[in-house]
Chains A and B, each alone.
Chain A
Amino acid sequence: MDRPVLEIKNLKASASGVRILNGIDLTVRGGEIHALMGPNGSGKSTLSSVIMGHPDYTVEEGEVLLNGENLLEKSVDERARAGVFLALQYPVEISGVTNSQFLRTAINARRDEKNPIPYAEFVKEMRKAVKDLEMNENLPKRYLNEGFSGGEKKRNEILQMKLLNPSVAILDEIDSGLDIDAVRIVGSNVSDMVKERKGGLGVIVITHYQRLLDYIKPDFVHVLSKGKIIKSGGCELVSMLEKEGYSWIDAYERGAM
Chain B
Amino acid sequence: MLCNMSTENMKIYDIRNGRLPEDDGFVRTRDGSICIGISENASIMLNMSFDGDGAGSAVNINIAGGTEVYLIENYRYDSASNAASFGENFMSCAVNINLSSGSTLKHQILFEDGRLAAAYTLKCNAEANAVYDNYQTNIGGRAKCNTEINLNGYGASVSSHLIAFCSGEDDQRYNIRINHHAKGTRSRMTNCGAAADASKCIIDCVGFIEKGASGSDAYQKSRIISLSEKVQAHVSPALLIDEYDVSAGHSGSVGSIDTEALYYMQSRGIRRQEAVAMFTSGFLMGAADKSNSELYEDIEHKVRERINQL
Restricting to B252-310, which residues have a CB under 8 Å from any CB of A? 258-261, 263-272, 274-275, 278-279, 281-286
The interface centre, meaning the residue of B260, B266, B274, B284 with most chain A CB atoms within 10 A of its CB, is B266
Restricting to A92-147, which residues have a CB under 8 Å from any CB of B? 92, 94-97, 101-103, 105-106, 109-110, 143
In the bound complex, what is the Cα–Cα distance between A91 and B283 (angstroms)?
18
Is A9 part of the binding interface, using a Cβ–Cβ cutoff of 8 Å? no
Whether A105 and B266, one on each chain, are in contact in the complex, defined by CB atoms closer than 8 angstroms, is no
Is A52 part of the binding interface, using a Cβ–Cβ cutoff of 8 Å? yes
In the complex, chain B residues whose CB is within 8 Å of the CB of A95 = 282-283, 286
Say which residue of B264, B269, B274, B285 sits within 8 Å of A92 (CB atoms). Answer: B264
In the bound complex, what is the Cα–Cα distance between A4 and B275 (angstroms)?
31
Whether A110 and B282, one on each chain, are in contact in the complex, defined by CB atoms closer than 8 angstroms, is no
**How many residue pairs between the two chains, A and B, have CB atoms under 8 Å in the bound complex?**
73
Is A241 part of the binding interface, using a Cβ–Cβ cutoff of 8 Å? no
Restricting to A217-234, which residues have a CB under 8 Å from any CB of B? none
In the bound complex, what is the Cα–Cα distance between A90 and B146 (angstroms)?
42
In the complex, chain A residues whose CB is within 8 Å of the CB of B279 = 94, 97
In the complex, chain A residues whose CB is within 8 Å of the CB of B265 = 94, 102, 106
Interface residues on B, range: 20 to 34
Is A77 part of the binding interface, using a Cβ–Cβ cutoff of 8 Å? yes
Whether B278 and A80, one on each chain, are in contact in the complex, defined by CB atoms closer than 8 angstroms, is no
Determine how close the nearest CB of chain A comes to the CB of B227; give it in whole angstroms.
16
Whether B286 and A96, one on each chain, are in contact in the complex, defined by CB atoms closer than 8 angstroms, is yes
Determine how close the nearest CB of chain B comes to the CB of A211; give it in whole angstroms.
26
In the bound complex, what is the Cα–Cα distance between A109 and B259 (angstroms)?
20
Whether A77 and B282, one on each chain, are in contact in the complex, defined by CB atoms closer than 8 angstroms, is no
Residue of A nearest to B268 (CB): A106
Whether A80 and B267, one on each chain, are in contact in the complex, defined by CB atoms closer than 8 angstroms, is yes
Determine how close the nearest CB of chain B comes to the CB of A78; give it in whole angstroms.
8
Say which residue of A52, A55, A94, A97 sits within 8 Å of B259 (CB atoms). Answer: A55
Whether A109 and B264, one on each chain, are in contact in the complex, defined by CB atoms closer than 8 angstroms, is no
| Complex interface bits, A1-24 against B, C-beta within 8 A gives 1, otherwise 0 | 000000000000000000000000
In the complex, chain A residues whose CB is within 8 Å of the CB of B271 = 77, 109
Given contacts A80-B269, A94-B282, A109-B271, 4 further A-B contacts (CB under 8 A): A92-B258, A94-B279, A95-B282, A109-B268
Chain A interface (Cβ within 8 Å of chain B)? 52-55, 75-77, 79-81, 86, 88, 91-92, 94-97, 101-103, 105-106, 109-110, 143, 160, 164
Report 5 cross-chain contacts, Cβ distance below 8 Å, ordered by A residue. A77-B269, A88-B267, A91-B264, A95-B283, A109-B270
